[in-house]
Amino acid sequence: MDGPAILIFIFFIALVVAAGIAASIAAKKRREAFASLARRLGLSFSADHDREIARQYQFLDKLAQGSNRYAYNVVSGNFHGHSIAAFDYHFQTESRDSKGNRQTHHHHFSFFILHLERSFPELTIAREGFFSKIAQAFGYDDIDFESHEFSRRFCVRSKDKKFAYDVCNARMIEFLLANDDFSIEIEGPALAMAFSGCLKPEAIEGNLRRLMQLRSLMPDYLFAAA
């Protein structure tokens, strides 16, 4: 290896090391911010990889993807009278490139769970997108509502249409039209919010409050048999 090639190699290694150090510092600051938030809100915090959450809530579609699934930076406890958990989540998938080499892809996103007083059938609410349109073409129809704007922007699926209509009432539809940056899943005793990526720590408290709003917009009669 000649001189210029050695310099390029050293420069490349230095970039990799610098990127690793920067990522480590950012991860440390994120953990500290989550811990500070938990203390301020009177909640518990754990930075450890928590695979039990992945197993406990594996019935939720968003948490059942890929392999090597775990939660981390977990903030949990009682928030305004409800048992909640907010955390970063990881899973991995694999693919092969054009040469047949295996590639591992790591996926991270923020997730929120509120424990409901009773169990419900599965209901998913997400922004309408390319893949949901493909699914509809193959017979996986979503549920339509009187609000054409809501039906155009959201894909709502449930085997129990009455439950879907109960949840997606006029007030809920109004709220979701103004808050369309997350997807929702209700199943069993869980009400969940999922984001496409990891939120900044300063956005966690505001989204816990939005989680409370979602719960408050579920009609009281749904819990009458609890």
Do residues 49 and 73 lie in contact, with contact meaning Cβ atoms separated by under 8 Å? Answer: no
Is residue 6 a part of any domain in this protein? no
Is residue 72 a part of any domain in this protein? yes
Is residue 194 a part of any domain in this protein? yes
pLDDT in tens, 47-60: 999 999 999 999 99
Is residue 200 a part of any domain in this protein? yes
Enclosing domain of residue 193: 44-223
Domain count, the chain: 1
Dist CA 192 CA 60 (whole Å)? 8
Is residue 137 a part of any domain in this protein? yes
pLDDT in tens, 135-177: 443 344 689 999 999 999 999 999 999 999 999 999 999 999 9
Task: Give percent above pLDDT 90 in the chain.
Answer: 75
- SS3 assignment, position 3: helix
Is residue 32 a part of any domain in this protein? no
pTM for this prediction: 0.85
Is residue 8 a part of any domain in this protein? no
Dist CA 125 CA 214 (whole Å)? 12
Is residue 22 a part of any domain in this protein? no
Dist CA 84 CA 162 (whole Å)? 26
Q: What is the mean pLDDT of residues 10-26?
A: 58
CA 1 vs CA 4, 10, 29: distances in Å: 8, 12, 40
Q: What is the mean pLDDT of residues 4-8?
A: 61
Dist CA 43 CA 3 (whole Å)? 56
